Amino acid sequence: MVELKNDRFLRALLKEPVDRTPVWLMRQAGRYLPEYRATRSQAGDFMALCQNPELACEVTLQPLERYPLDAAILFSDILTIPDAMGLGLYFEQGEGPKFRKPLQTAADVEALPDIKIESDLSYVLDAVKTIRNALNGRVPLIGFSGSPWTLATYMVEGGSTKDFRHIKAMLYAQPEVMHLLLDKLAKAVTDYLNAQILAGAQAVQIFDTWGGVLSDAAYDEFSLRYMNKIVAGLIKEHNGRQVPSIVFTKNGGLWLERIAKSGANCVGLDWTINIGQARQRIGDHVALQGNMDPSVLYANPERIKQEVASILADFGSGSGHVFNLGHGIHQYVEPDRVNAFVDAVHELSEKYHAIK
């Protein structure tokens, strides 16, 4: 077993002392990088890239060649599970993901197959193994999945949506059908994340991208409840080391206390909440990840540095902070702005940590 040369990210997730605040970016392997665009063009399309373990490994490592990041994240897509369930995932240029067979009736939900992760999603597990081998202990590898609610949203709407009409109609008019779907997805996500851990992922994140569109009561019943089930079912230790988990609900600032009780080691924050206030509310119980507005990266390096300094000061001294954006990096960001961001986190955070 290769020794991990930089475990700052894992230590921070467990609120253990670190020498400086670790940093990575959601969607760090992506369209803002010219080398990513070249590899995607070579693959042919987005799903072909995801399904090629060698090319998925290549794009996972690309940002690490440019920036001194403290973690790598598996290159894949949150919609691999619905695709494996036979819904016919495809991507249209400029329009995002779509499904050829969206779920429209109770019968559609009942007919969803139980997927076998090792065979149906073998390309993801092969990518995890390939990436871990290529990293050779350089930094930890993060595995991930979409939350059941977020996956269900795409599956019922048939793609991206602005009004959530079909999914919310099912939630309120046919809650028993909604719960059946979410139960199936929670089981699949638990199995999927555990398979990633066994393949080599050293931490996992649940992306609840659309949890924030729910009402207060509906969030508990239809999103958080199922993420709690997943976290409870995760492998907590592998190869003699704890495997931390992160739960990230975009626009979830109202529910931080409840999310902190999910059992996850870390709560991801978007940019709409002050991280110092979030630490006062839940920081004794969990680590925090976030939470710079991705649009700050359109600014000049000095302004980026100011924003990093402000967030670090708001969090304050001690461990338990993983610096990140409050959502994925935008595709139009200039790559050199990320240099300014990562360098600022490492340079300015040292004074907040006792370890030298």
User: Each residue of 269-307: pLDDT tens digit?
Assistant: 999 999 999 999 998 899 999 999 999 999 999 999 999
98 domain-assigned: yes
Instruction: Tell me how many domains the chain contains.
Output: 1
Which member of 154, 192, 219, 226 is catalytic?
154
**Residue whose C-alpha is closest to residue 287's, from 272, 269, 312:** 269
In a domain, residue 13? The reply is: no
Binding residues for substrate, by number, are: 27-31, 77, 154, 209, 327
The DSSP result for 54-69, as a single string, is: HHHHHHHHHHHHHS--
pLDDT value at residue 24: 98
Q: CA distances (Å), 275 to each of 280, 296, 343, in order?
A: 9, 16, 20
- What is the distance between the alpha carbons of residues 104 and 94, in angstroms, rounded to a whole number? 25
* Owner of token pair 């996972």: 60
Residue 355's pLDDT is what? 63
Whether residue 87 is contained in a domain is answered as yes
Which residue range forms the structural domain that includes residue 176? 22-274
314 lies in a domain? no
For 106, the token pair is 């109770």
**Residue 31 falls in the annotated catalytic set:** yes
Q: What is the CATH number of the domain that holds 97?
A: 3.20.20.210
Residue 173, in any domain of the structure: yes
pLDDT at residue 83 tops 90: yes
* 313 located within any domain: no
Token reading at 136: 């050779």
Q: Which two tokens stand for residue 39?
A: 């590899």
Local confidence band at 246 (pLDDT 50, 70, 90 cut-offs): very high
Active-site residue, 258 included: no
DSSP three-state, residue 320: coil
The closest of 261, 249, 315, 257 to 288, measured between CA atoms, is 315
Buried b (16+ CB within 10 A) or exposed e, 90-107: eeeeeeebbbeebbeeee
Query: Cα separation of 293 and 153, whole Å?
Result: 24
Over the stretch 197-211, which tens digit does the pLDDT of each residue have?
Answer: 999 999 999 999 999
Q: Tell me which of 77, 191, 208, 270 is the catalytic residue.
A: 77
Catalytic residue among 40, 132, 279, 337: 40
The answer to whether position 345 is within a domain reads no
Is 191 part of any domain? yes
The yes-or-no answer on residue 163 being catalytic is no
* 37 is a catalytic site residue: no
50-79 per-position pLDDT tens digit? 999 999 999 999 999 999 999 999 999 999
294 DSSP 8-state letter: G
Please confirm, yes or no, whether 32 is among the known catalytic residues: no
